[in-house]
Amino acid sequence: MIKRLSTLTHLNSDHFKALGITHALLLIDVDNTLLSPIDKNISEELIQWIKQISANHQILLCTNNFTKRQFKVGTDLNLPILMRSSKPFPWRVRAYLKQHQVDLNSVIVIGDQVMTDVLLAIWLKRPYYLIKPMIIDRHWITRFFRILESMVIEDE
């Protein structure tokens, strides 16, 4: 079973230290992990969490999308964002990390989908944290994947 946290704010530096990583690059999914599909802005609680966690760790936002909405998240938070990341396939993420001289061993993947975020982490051979999605996605393929995921997920 894959354990899933109820919210991103349940993570702290102690989780990463337990993995043996003191200065991580957190590769964080945007859609339904940081920003729900119906919201325009990230919650104040998540903004505060990002400020706190970024004191000791780097953050790279990552999304398969490419709209202004996702770009605005990176701009508003003053964080880099890799758009059209092609998750779960690792080549765009690997290219970004290489271009920015990031040690792959420092990467921790955080997201809400097994079929994209967790699979990316597995293919990168990196640890991951699965987060409960903010809302049920309306897209049919995501709903289908959620049914499959429910067979292997254990909520905290």
How confident is residue 8, by pLDDT bands cut at 50, 70 and 90?
Answer: very high
- Tell which wins on pLDDT, 151 or 75: 75
* pLDDT tops 70 at residue 18: yes
Dig out the tokens for 17 from the structure: 């230290």
* pLDDT tops 90 at residue 145: no
User: What's the pLDDT tens digit per position in 61-101?
Assistant: 999 988 887 888 898 999 999 999 999 999 999 999 999 99
Query: Tell me, what's the pLDDT at 39?
Result: 87
Domains (range + CATH), the chain? 2-155 (3.40.50.1000)
Query: Tell me, what's the pLDDT at 16?
Result: 93
Length of the chain: 156
Helix (H, G, I), strand (E, B) or coil at 17: helix
Query: Tell me, what's the pLDDT at 150?
Result: 72
User: What's the pLDDT tens digit per position in 119-134?
Assistant: 999 999 999 999 998 8
User: What's the pLDDT tens digit per position in 39-65?
Assistant: 888 999 999 999 999 999 999 999 998
Least confident window among 24-28, 52-56, 72-76, 149-153: 149-153
The residues, ordered by sequence, that sit 6+ positions from 53 with a Cβ below 8 Å of its Cβ are 11, 12, 13, 26, 59
Which of 145, 135, 118 shows the shortest CA–CA distance to 27? 118
Q: What is the DSSP letter of 35?
A: B
